[in-house]
A and B are shown apart, each in its own frame.
Chain A
């Protein structure tokens, strides 16, 4: 194990791209220039060029110029230092970053705990050909680590490297000063994983969102419709009944907010492309800020296929997922595996994130789960006696269990179907309130990481709920023993050795075994 510690001290530290502090701090610079030029302009417009600083007597002018240059110099020095002090290092097991001038910050993350990687390019960064690399780590709720900014091609290479290592392929970079045992591992690993370091995993595009569908889906958004109605109805009624056209002016804020919502959706969803790659599902989207996401298949905690009410006439679906680290607030955009797509797109995306459906008829299960209330694939449903509790949805509420995951369906107007892999179950909860008790039913919730999906089997008969509860606890335990998908590409016997490497200090002291 001493190899790892040596790795850690030998891997070189890298710096981010020199221009990145400017890309991050450009708002300050542009703001200063804007304020200055506006002052000049306004005084020029007033025909009062005497207001220009250069017209000042020189004993006042020089100090002012001095201060101005001082500030600029300080900014530049600050930019330089913050660049100088930001470093990162990638070893076989960890990603480390160091940053901060006065308050130094060191952060490290285990690569085998990396849940997903995004490459984000805000507009200005894109102009300079730079990109930010964000990776989500689920080590005890730590926030994301990010490297901003790298050259786009470097970011891609780094992503591929990290993903390959996270998958358990140990691609050791050539180390000039490698000691004996370091070279041994190199020799051992290079045979199995040659060239993993830089090879870009090939992508196959599986689903795209045409602009028409994107616009349509953005408009058919419940929030948007509510906002639109809230503004339109009173104004139109006011305008028509009271015959005061002036009230139409009141439409303006409504139009603006509706426009903002639509623009936001279009901007985020523009050019949405989902592709399959050996690393997992690749997502690409965004107009002014483009994002490239990669979600490894073993990192999906739960997947939901959702058919919102207004999309149903068009046969559009959305696929969202819980990925540890994405969280609830910022994760809404990032958790969309398919923004808006036809059923074929769902068929294309699902197998990438759930490689093993665990049933002979995965498509039947999916269509059954999304159709109104047919039942050929063995969904256990809410008992008829409890129908009064949810008169609309009771026919759809239920679950089916495959050998790899549990499939929960529900919702009548907005239908949804949720997959939770057995080995991703964090815990099982059974709830029963006073009303449910009268109806003789109980809810079973599968604890998942925080995200958009709350997997919950609603209103099962108590006997069913109880058996599901125990069965699920057992299944989760068994599935966990069988798959340690931390390193999801490594064969099981290898994976069992991998968890919990010793701390660098302790392992460094001991000579190698």
Chain B
């Protein structure tokens, strides 16, 4: 069967309402703004190692805006845009990437869990979370995002199979950005589209142009509706490209060419939506300027909040290991709190 990527904006189609289109644009622009600031902060030594997502905003924001308030997102480490669009405060996200304990407890109202560092392990967990919503009669949908590299892991297979067997209300988004760090897609798999694998599990598989916000958003919405109606999971593959390195420690010039990057830069999902909005008189230079000023002010305020977080205490190391500290944690808590660990080090 031939799979063809769903695309609208690149073909001159504009299937979005004005409100939806502007919401997508603002959320994408805000995410990009965050990503650029985060990389700068990392270079200044004010953020830890950070995995940028620039180039993948349409995939992540498109999915986030397709969800309802009660739905959950289960992200991997590259999904900061997804988290921001889901309502995670910027200062919490900054503290998260600073590895400050205060950033690791997401606010109760935000239906998102912490990013996963191990690859694909979140897939079966997302299925469990989706089933919990069914048991509790709350019917939430779980959206789980992963990269193409993650589809090679056993947990991807087990999770998708479980989801299909239990008809779990899950939307699986694979952001196929072409590389598992440095290994290109051709050396990871022998299929043209990852979405093709869906048939083997017994669920629909859809390929979208991942730099086309309209395509991702509309296909994600269909998948969410399907899940909410009890029709089971969907595998959504977004063809995209990370214009940035794998993390701030990575050097992509060692494994890909400038020409390839430039070709993808021309398909920047934000520019693409912006041009479509401008062509319809919904956006202009003035509005862009206003938005950027707004984002700058918001970020400055949020950064100040993050900077104001108190220094973590050493004893927080053994906090929250168990609901109630066991004797070993208690002993360590006391030693750490009294600085005894420093004496122990001679």
A, B: real partners: no
Residues of B at under 8 Å CB distance from A?
none
